[in-house]
């Protein structure tokens, strides 16, 4: 028995590391993989015992009793970890399939070889992406809308496990870069969805604070490298299939890093780096426990749990609440983006996300409720939640108005558009800026029209000459010749009117902005838009898309308006009149019909030009439950309309 105890003692790995509170001491038990924190004195005694430097006959027995007690605690906890069966969770299974310790040396060589090239490659890719994005006006971002489709979601599901492989390899190489031994790798099945993982927990005792942060962020760094590589590849490849693949890789790798892995509110890489940085490595557990105690304290009216005390506990509570709200926001975002097009699939994704983020962690940490005072505890909780339900039910009857916010802008494609009145080649166009009334905005040439005018003038000259020959000689022939002059004269007049249409002058002073494609020497058809002119007048016309589900309330009611103009708010009397124009088109992405709201405002165009405006409408009032039911009906209607739109295509 003594030999077993000594063997267990020799297997323990004692180390120290720095944190926000100073030096910390840790003991690693290799069989179970558990790590125990202790103080400096016990750590020194453990090292002395392992090296045979302790004389038990003269050692302080009180100190040694503490050391023996700590060793026994470690041993019992490790035994319990190895023999205990975790709660059965069929949708969260961890499979440790590969012992990475066998590959420590080759991975260390790879880490040493790749290390000097990492940052130069990252900076080079970043500059390439920046240049391509500016030149193309970030055209790849338009591909983001394709992710909310059956094809996009399927591509995401197929690619994500493979994209996680280099992510985990980044953690492994960073760990070996700092001589951290690797343990194992495998696959976690979350809701039957496979995700690879690498166990680098030895960094807790083998690496300092800065090294642990770099190991935690290595996977995110690899994700960004992959995203930037896909960004560049999207501009190099041809074909819809390859562009879709590269766009999906870019979107997944970048958004996954920013919204999930790099977010400290999720217990992923960003969380571990953040908790190491602030020196509170048990941030999530402490925040969850404090939040649970505070929730129980409120639910039982002080009968159980504990109130929040002190600044540190308040910060833990704030983190716990923020983390929960962020996860709920993710679920609502999934619902909002997917339900309009994929009603059943969107609901399934939301249920899966709720299970993965909320229910599965609870199932993995299942604990029995305390027996003492359980009846009183449950009674207080029943009273609390009964009160919560009653208040919530009462709030459903609170009357609230329907409000709609419509992003609007000056109607530069309609009311203020400067368009060609005839086809031709652009010869000159006015510079951007303030122009006076009568200023030539653009002038065009049409060689065919010039030839027709020249020919019409020649015909008119011949007709005049013929009339002069018979003038005063024969009255009948004179009348015939005079009548023959009318056709070429009218034709020439029509052609001259067309010539005048080749030049457009400003009817009044204002701000002129030419279109980016209005280049001299280019041919433009009749009705082509060459820019817009905002006149110096007291009223303006704005336009924006209005949601289909609020059309009836707008038409039947008497809404109140307010205009938000880059921070300035204008009251209802600013809106002179409004009208709706239906566009005969069904948007496949949202399933909504397109309506345009055109509003005449009592503001000059120059007060709105170059600024963002929102027109806010306050419609009829209804109870809260009506608003919720309306949201459900709109989602269902949007889904059905989207299916109709896809069928039409």
**Region at 545 (left for phi over 0; alpha for psi -120 to 50; beta for the rest):** beta
Identify the pLDDT of residue 363.
47
Cβ(527)–Cβ(447) below 8 Å: no
Q: How confident is the model at residue 1 (pLDDT cuts 50, 70, 90)?
A: very low
Query: pTM, whole model, 2 decimals?
Result: 0.57
3-state SS record for 340-402: CCCHHHHHHHHHHHHHHHHHHHHHHCCCCCCCCCHHHHHHHHHHHHHHHHHHHHHHCCCEEEE
Identify the pLDDT of residue 369.
44
Identify the pLDDT of residue 510.
92
Lookup: tokens for 576: 């002179």
Cβ(428)–Cβ(443) below 8 Å: yes
Residue partners of 434: CB distance under 8 A and separation at least 6: 509, 510, 511, 512
479 alpha carbon, distance to own chain's centre:
80
Mean pLDDT of 549-553: 81
Q: Which has more confidence, 485 or 648?
A: 485
What is the spatial distance between Cα 347 and Cα 636, in angstroms, rounded to a whole number? 12
Q: How confident is the model at residue 648 (pLDDT cuts 50, 70, 90)?
A: very low
Residue 66 CB burial class (10 angstroms; 0-12, 13-18, ≥19): middle
Q: Tell me the average pLDDT of the chain.
A: 78
pLDDT digits (tens, 9 = 90+) for 221-269: 999 999 999 999 988 888 777 887 888 888 888 877 777 788 888 888 8
Identify the pLDDT of residue 370.
46
Choice among 401-410, 457-466, 508-517 with the minimum mean pLDDT: 457-466
Q: Which has more confidence, 510 or 203?
A: 510
pLDDT digits (tens, 9 = 90+) for 88-139: 555 567 777 787 878 888 888 999 998 888 899 999 999 998 888 888 767 7
Mean pLDDT of 461-471: 67
pLDDT digits (tens, 9 = 90+) for 371-410: 445 555 566 667 666 776 887 787 788 888 888 888 898 9
């Amino acid at each position: 028995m003594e030999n077993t105890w000594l063997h267990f003692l020799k297997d323990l790995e004692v180390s120290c590391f720095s944190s926000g509170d100073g030096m910390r001491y840790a003991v690693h038990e290799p069989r179970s993989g558990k790590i125990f924190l202790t103080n400096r004195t016990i750590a020194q005694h453990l090292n002395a015992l392992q090296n045979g430097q302790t004389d038990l006959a003269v050692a302080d027995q009180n100190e040694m009793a503490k050391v023996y007690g700590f060793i026994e605690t470690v041993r019992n906890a490790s035994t319990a970890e190895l023999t205990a069966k975790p709660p059965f969770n069929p949708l969260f299974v961890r499979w440790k399939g590969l012992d990475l310790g066998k590959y420590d040396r080759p991975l260390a060589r790879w880490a040493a070889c790749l290390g000097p090239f990492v940052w130069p490659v990252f900076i080079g890719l970043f500059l390439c992406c920046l240049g391509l994005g500016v030149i193309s006006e970030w055209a790849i971002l338009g591909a983001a809308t394709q992710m909310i489709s059956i094809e996009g979601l399927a591509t995401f599901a197929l690619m994500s496990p493979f994209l996680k492989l280099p992510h985990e390899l980044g953690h492994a190489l960073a760990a070996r870069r700092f001589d951290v031994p690797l343990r194992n790798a495998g696959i976690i099945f979350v809701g039957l969805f496979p995700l690879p993982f690498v166990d680098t927990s030895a960094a807790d005792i083998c690496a300092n604070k800065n090294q642990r942060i770099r190991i935690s962020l290595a996977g995110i760094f690899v994700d960004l490298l992959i995203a930037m590589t896909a960004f560049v590849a999207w501009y190099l490849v041809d074909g819809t299939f390859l562009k879709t693949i590269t766009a999906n890789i870019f979107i997944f790798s970048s958004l996954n890093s920013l919204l999930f892995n790099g977010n400290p509110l999720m217990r992923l890489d960003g969380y571990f780096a953040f908790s190491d940085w602030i020196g509170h490595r048990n941030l999530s557990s402490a925040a969850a426990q404090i939040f649970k105690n505070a929730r129980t304290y409120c639910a039982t009216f002080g009968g159980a749990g504990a109130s929040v005390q002190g600044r540190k506990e308040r910060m833990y509570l704030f983190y716990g609440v923020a983390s929960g709200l962020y996860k709920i926001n993710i679920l609502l975002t999934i619902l909002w983006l997917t339900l309009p097009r994929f009603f059943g699939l969107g609901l399934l994704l939301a249920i899966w996300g709720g299970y993965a983020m909320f229910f599965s962690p609870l199932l993995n940490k299942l604990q029995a409720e305390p027996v003492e005072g359980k009846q009183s505890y449950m009674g207080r909780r029943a009273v609390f939640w009964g009160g919560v339900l009653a208040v919530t039910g009462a709030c459903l009857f609170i009357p609230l108005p329907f409000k709609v916010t419509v992003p609007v802008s000056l109607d530069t494609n309609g009311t203020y558009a400067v368009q060609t009145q005839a086809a031709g080649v652009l010869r000159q166009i006015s510079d951007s800026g303030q122009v006076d009334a009568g200023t030539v905005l653009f002038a065009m040439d049409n060689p065919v029209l010039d030839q027709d005018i020249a020919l019409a003038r020649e015909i008119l000259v011949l007709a005049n000459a013929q009339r002069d020959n018979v003038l005063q000689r024969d009255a009948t022939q004179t009348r015939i010749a005079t009548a023959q002059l009318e056709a070429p004269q009218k034709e020439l007049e029509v052609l001259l009117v067309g010539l005048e249409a080749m030049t457009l002058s400003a009817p009044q002073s204002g701000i002129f902005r030419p279109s980016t494609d209005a280049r001299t020497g280019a041919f433009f058809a009749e009705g082509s838009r060459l820019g817009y002119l905002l006149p110096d007048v007291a009223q303006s016309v704005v336009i924006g898309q209005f949601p289909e589900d609020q059309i009836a309330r707008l038409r039947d009611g008497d809404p109140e308006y307010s205009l938000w103009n880059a921070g300035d708010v204008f009251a209802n009397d600013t809106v002179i009149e409004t009208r709706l124009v239906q566009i005969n088109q069904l948007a496949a992405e949202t399933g909504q019909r397109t309506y345009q709201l055109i509003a005449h405002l009592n503001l000059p165009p120059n007060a709105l030009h170059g600024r963002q405006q929102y027109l806010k409408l306050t419609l009829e009032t209804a109870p809260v439950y009506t608003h919720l039911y309306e949201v459900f009906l709109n989602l269902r209607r949007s889904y059905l309309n989207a299916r109709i739109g896809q069928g039409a295509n």
